[in-house]
Every structure is written in structure tokens, then in C-alpha cells.
């Protein structure tokens, strides 16, 4: 059942749309991420859900209750901020209980809940420390405990990990996800970090200039982007214009683009004869000895690329090369460092299901 319903939410600042008819739902215990570049409207949307911004139009429901015009205290949400927003003069326990004290919850109940939440977030023994005596990861746990102790219907996270260094960010990311799953916390999480979104979310909502560009499971967003914006924003992608024709077999297409001619399987039909297509660099498989016979008898999806740059990345080697009449640049990836000393021409096979159809090419573009 939907715990949170956001229905056609719109917010303008002057004549600028920070959110335009945004609709989505979050089920009980679901982890929903709002993902997009700086300025796309993630925080504005989160603040409207928390009651810190009033929408121009649209509705917000939490559980059975419409909360669109209620103040933050009157809706049962809790916010976890980027800067933790801990009170420097209060110790861990007092910081965590702050919301309960404001709500005038009985002291005995505060103590009971504090003990439980301290255990849940793994802060046993740290209760009397001041925020300045805690690491960044521990401060983030205090912020999470402070949100959890109020037993909110929805927890709102505003880039909670962006102040942590890369290594710590990864470990705290798993801690938050673990707690969220264990205690079935309905969570709306704002980030511009695509790997964080892919690793943590049940559902990702990709925002672009105040509108939803695509919404789906992390695998759908990564493997089946539906627009150039999403393909480009999430991971590395090659994006080119292509002419597409239906092949004789169901769900198969002939695709002609600068990289060559390909036989493609897709259960999503292209929206026009000329569309943008994309594929991930890891879907181009390097064939060291050139093309080999294809057992299935399908047209062979081989191509040659002139490799211009190689960068050793540890587990893989990434490269850039050119191909086609316009000598477009393509990204490739090798599992091992290729031996290209004789010639820079490398042969690749693009698997049949690796190409995705994006939006139609507009006339004149
Ligand atoms: N109070 C305000 N007055 C005017 N414009 C605002 C206000 N708050 C936000 N905006 C504008 O609305 C747009 C969306 O802002 P928002 O903070 O929601 O973006 P964001 O996606 O969270 O970005 P970031 O990742 O940089 O935090 C931005 O262009 C911003 O300048």
C-alpha cells in the first residue's frame, strides 16, 4: 500500500518551475531516491513533502491523510540533513531526544525509545559524547537516530552522505540501507550521486529541470534508459543517431548508425524510424583475433574502432576511439589491457540486446 502519494506537485519561484506536475508513490518500507544534477529540483520536492515549502498546486498524502498544507510539525515526517544539523552544545542522547522533548513525550517513554534506537544504530557507549567528539559517520548515525526515534511515517534524507569522504561514504551507505531494510523505514532520499542511488534504492526517480525524466528500479534505469539525458547521467554511455527498421523476427530490428549495422533485440519498440540509440561501453566485447563465425547464423554485430586513448583503471582498461564517416568518438572498455602495439584498430562485437532506443531525432537536430 502507498505510504506516500505525491500527485501533480508544482512549485514555481517567480516564473521558474522548480517542480512541474511531479507524481509518484512510495510504498511502506520502500526506499525511493530522487536523483538528478544540481538545480533539477530534488531538494525543493523533498521540502514540499516535509512541509518546508508550500506547493503552488498538487497534493501530498501520507498514509490516509492529506498533508499538503500542513506545517512540518503536523505531518509525521523526519528529515536527515547533509550537515547532520546536530546541536553542538547537546550530547548524543539529548540530540537524539530533541524532537521528543519538543513534542512533550513523557520522560519514561523518551528513555525507553532512546535505549532502543541507540542499540539500533550502534551508538551504545557514545551517549554522553558531544558531537565534536564523534566521527563524521557517527554524527550521521546520531542524525538518523534522531529521525528514527520520532517513529515517522516517512524519513526524508537530503544528501546525507555528501560530507563524508569517499571510503566512509560507502560504508555508511550500507549501514543506512541495512537499517532502512531491517526496520522497514519508508524513505525518500535525495542525491546527485548515481552510484549511491543504484546501490541503495528500490525505486529511482530521475529529475531533469523540475520534471520526471524516468522512474523505475535501478536495473531499469541503468540497463533500459529511455532518454539521452538518463543514459548520459547514469553511468557511461555511447549515444548516436540511428536509422531503425523492423526485422522479420518479433522484437528484432536492423539498426544503422555510425558504428556500423547491427541486428538488435528489444522488447521496447523504437518511437520513430530515426531515433537516438545508446549502449554501455562494457557491452562492446573486444575480439582480439577479429570477427569469428556466428553460430546462430544471425548477422554478425562486429565493428572496428580506431583506439586513440587508453586509461588503466585497475579492474578494467577504458578507452576512446573513433569510427564512422564523421569519425565520432566512442567509449570502450577492456577486461584486460589490449595488445594494440601493431595497429590501433580494435575489433568489437556488440551483443544483440545491448542497444537501447531513446527519443526520436528531431528534424534539423
Ligand atoms: N527559495 C528559492 N528562491 C528562488 N529559487 C529557488 C529557491 N529555492 C530553489 N530555487 C531554484 O530552484 C531550482 C531547484 O533547486 P533545488 O535546490 O531544488 O535543486 P537541487 O536539485 O536540490 O540542487 P542541488 O543538488 O544543487 O542541491 C534551482 O534552480 C534553484 O536555484
The boundaries of the domain holding residue 94 are 2-223
Supply the residue whose CA is at minimum distance from atom 28 of ligand 1.
39
Question: What percent of the chain has a predicted confidence (pLDDT) above 70?
Answer: 94
pLDDT given at position 136:
81
Same domain, 206 and 353: no
Same domain, 190 and 143: yes
| Structural domain includes residue 230 | no
| Structural domain includes residue 310 | yes
Same domain, 44 and 100: yes
Given 223, 251, 271, which residue is the final one in a domain?
223
What distance in angstroms lies between residue 287's CA and the mean position of ligand 1's atoms? 47
| CATH code: domain of residue 21 | 3.40.50.300
Same domain, 187 and 284: no
What distance in angstroms lies between residue 119's CA and the mean position of ligand 1's atoms? 37
Same domain, 209 and 79: yes
Question: Distance between CA 310 and CA 323 in Å, rounded?
Answer: 16
Q: What is the dihedral of CA 330, 335, 339, 345, to 10 degrees?
A: -20
| Structural domain includes residue 284 | yes
| CATH code: domain of residue 316 | 2.40.50.100
What distance in angstroms lies between residue 154's CA and the mean position of ligand 1's atoms? 22
Task: Answer yes or no: is the ipTM higher than 0.90.
Answer: yes
| Structural domain includes residue 229 | no
Residue to substitute in 42, 55, 156 for testing ligand 1 pocket (most ligand atoms within 8 angstroms of CB)? 42
Cell 503552488 locates to 56
Same domain, 99 and 176: yes
Q: How many domains does the chain have?
A: 2
pTM for the model stands at: 0.87
Same domain, 258 and 214: no
Same domain, 353 and 254: yes
Supply the residue whose CA is at minimum distance from atom 29 of ligand 1.
39
Q: What is the mean pLDDT of residues 309-313?
A: 88
The residue among 217, 216, 218, 149 whose CA lies nearest residue 185 is 149
| Structural domain includes residue 101 | yes
Distance of CA 277 to the CA centre of its chain: 21
Distance of CA 199 to the CA centre of its chain: 8
Q: Are 330 and 320 a contacting pair, CB within 8 Å?
A: yes
Measured from CB, residues less than 6 Å from any atom of ligand 1 are 13, 18, 36, 38-44, 192
| Structural domain includes residue 200 | yes
Supply the residue whose CA is at minimum distance from atom 5 of ligand 1.
13
Supply the residue whose CA is at minimum distance from atom 30 of ligand 1.
39
Over residues 106-163, the pLDDT tens digits come to 999 999 999 999 988 888 999 999 999 998 888 888 998 998 998 899 999 998 888 7
Note the residue count of the chain: 365
Same domain, 245 and 218: no
Return all residues near 275 (Cβ < 8 A) that are at least 6 apart.
241, 242, 244, 357, 358, 359, 360, 361
Residue to substitute in 33, 37, 39 for testing ligand 1 pocket (most ligand atoms within 8 angstroms of CB)? 39
Q: Computed from CA positions of residues 111, 114, 119, 123, in that sequence, does the dihedral angle turn out positive or negative?
A: negative
Q: Are 187 and 158 a contacting pair, CB within 8 Å?
A: no
As a three-state string, the secondary structure of 10-49 is EEEECCEEEEEEEEEEEECCCEEEEECCCCCCHHHHHHHH
Supply the residue whose CA is at minimum distance from atom 4 of ligand 1.
13
Same domain, 261 and 298: yes
Over residues 202-260, the pLDDT tens digits come to 999 999 999 999 999 999 999 889 999 999 999 889 999 999 999 988 999 999 998 88
Same domain, 123 and 44: yes
What distance in angstroms lies between residue 252's CA and the mean position of ligand 1's atoms? 43
Supply the residue whose CA is at minimum distance from atom 27 of ligand 1.
38
| Structural domain includes residue 33 | yes
Same domain, 185 and 251: no
Amino acid at each position: 500500500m502507498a505510504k506516500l502519494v505525491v500527485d501533480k506537485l508544482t512549485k514555481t519561484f517567480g516564473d521558474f518551475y522548480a517542480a512541474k506536475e511531479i507524481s509518484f508513490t512510495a510504498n511502506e518500507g520502500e526506499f525511493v531516491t530522487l536523483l538528478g544534477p544540481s538545480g533539477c529540483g530534488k531538494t525543493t520536492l523533498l521540502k514540499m513533502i516535509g512541509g518546508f515549502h508550500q506547493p503552488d498546486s498538487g497534493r501530498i498524502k501520507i498514509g490516509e491523510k492529506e498533508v499538503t498544507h500542513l506545517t512540518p510539525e503536523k505531518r509525521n515526517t523526519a528529515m536527515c540533513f547533509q550537515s547532520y544539523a546536530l546541536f553542538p552544545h547537546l550530547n548524543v542522547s539529548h540530540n537524539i531526544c530533541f524532537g521528543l522533548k519538543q513534542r512533550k513525550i513523557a520522560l519514561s517513554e523518551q528513555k525507553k525509545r532512546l535505549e532502543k534506537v541507540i542499540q539500533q544504530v550502534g551508538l551504545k557507549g557514545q551517549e554522553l559524547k558531544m558531537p565534536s567528539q564523534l566521527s563524521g559517520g557517527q554524527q550521521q548515525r546520531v542524525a538518523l537516530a534522531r529521525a528514527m526515534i520520532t517513529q515517522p511515517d516517512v524519513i526524508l534524507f537530503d544528501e546525507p552522505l555528501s560530507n563524508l569522504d569517499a571510503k566512509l561514504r560507502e560504508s555508511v551507505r550500507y549501514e543506512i540501507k541495512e537499517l532502512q531494510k531491517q526496520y522497514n523505514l519508508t524513505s525518500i532520499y535525495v542525491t546527485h550521486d548515481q552510484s549511491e542511488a543504484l546501490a541503495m534504492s528500490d525505486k529511482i526517480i530521475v529529475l531533469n529541470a523540475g520534471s520526471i525524466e524516468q522512474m523505475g528500479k535501478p536495473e531499469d534505469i541503468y540497463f533500459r534508459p529511455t532518454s539521452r539525458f538518463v543514459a548520459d547521467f547514469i553511468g557511461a554511455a555511447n549515444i548516436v543517431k540511428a536509422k531503425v527498421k523492423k526485422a522479420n523476427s518479433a522484437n528484432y530490428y536492423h539498426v544503422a548508425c555510425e558504428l556500423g549495422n547491427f541486428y538488435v533485440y528489444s522488447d521496447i519498440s523504437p518511437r520513430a524510424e530515426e531515433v537516438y540509440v545508446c549502449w554501455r561501453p562494457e557491452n562492446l566485447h573486444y575480439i582480439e583475433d577479429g570477427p569469428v563465425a556466428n553460430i546462430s547464423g544471425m548477422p554478425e554485430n562486429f565493428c572496428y574502432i580506431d583506439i586513440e586513448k587508453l586509461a588503466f583503471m585497475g579492474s578494467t582498461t577504458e578507452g576512446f576511439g573513433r569510427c564512422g564517416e564523421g569519425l565520432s568518438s566512442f567509449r570502450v572498455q577492456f577486461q584486460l589491457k589490449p595488445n594494440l602495439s601493431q595497429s590501433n584498430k580494435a575489433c568489437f562485437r556488440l551483443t544483440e540486446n545491448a542497444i537501447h532506443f531513446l527519443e526520436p531525432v528531431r528534424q534539423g537536430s
